[in-house]
Structure 1
Amino acid sequence: MGLDIVRGDITTMAVDAIVNAANPQLQMGGGVCGAIFRAAGARRLREACDRLAPITTGEAVITDGFSLPARYIIHTPGPVWRDGTRGEEDLLRACYRNSLALAAEHGCASVAFPLISGGIYGYPVADAIRIALEEMRAFLMDPAHADMTVILALFDETTYGLARHIDERYPGRAS
């Protein structure tokens, strides 16, 4: 119930769904995507993803969680940062909105997100955090979703510290 920012490994979280910062082909990648595939069971997750791929940037699809403590994995490809003038912000917002809507459709009471596009896709980290928090808060403001717990799970201390700092700048935050 509400928004939490945590430092930790998303693959170990006992939530209804975790979000995979996927690529459009839904193939095993590096970073958080690779970690999710390995923890879930790469072969079974690849087979499930192959049936759904390809998807477009900002779209979201769902698979079982397989060997993860999470029941589901929601896959969403974030935008690659070019220069900020090619619709990157709208696409990143769509990742969060569509993933949250899919979690709600599947009756999830809790969902954990990594920082989408903030790694190898090159999105400026502070902007990616701000967008994530804005979209999560907007979703939780809807009374139909007020009972859901949404988590921004960050693996490294630097990004976690920056997210906590950005979060403190928002009056009336949901966390």
Structure 2
Amino acid sequence: MPQSTQHSLIPFLLLWIALLSIVQVVVIVVFFTVGHHGPSPSEHGLLLGKGKMLTFKATEVNREMKWSAKSPDEGLVSEEEGGKVLKIRRDGYFFLNLQVTLSSCPKVGSQHTVLMKRADKVIMQGWINKETCSTGLVGKVEELYAGSSLEVTTTAGLSINESLTHLDIIYMVRP
């Protein structure tokens, strides 16, 4: 049986527990409503950690690949030299995802390749599968700077399937 002094401490302990619970609820509410707004907008109009996606459709003119954006953003990536070269307009990280599919597969001869170059440096390379006539998806994250240019080339004389050839670019702001 509890002592009378223990009975007198119970209301103080209940008050203490209630006070701590109220403070804890207030801290949680303040953290999620006032103190935590996420990242601040960058100077590019995008949130840090957020990306912007561009999709380019390929066309073929005189056996050269030309790119045209489905949803253009000239402030991020622009088409130059009639679409043969893509010019980067902002510094950042770029997730490049490329698929090149040929109109018909050459069954004989050497292995056929697709190259993505930045200033004559190969940054991505894919090989044409002779069964599917495609590179499949070839992807890479690359840090690119404003003024960089990207160009995709294939082995000479190969005709592409325009409906199955595409380049997707996801841009992420560099912190």
Do the structures match in fold with TM over 0.5?
A: no
Q: TM-score, normalised to structure 1's length?
A: 0.28
Q: TM-score, normalised to structure 2's length?
A: 0.28
The one of the two structures with greater contact order (alpha-carbon pairs below 8 A, sep at least 6) is 1
Between Structure 1 and Structure 2, the one with more strand by share is 2
Q: Which has the larger radius of gyration?
A: 2
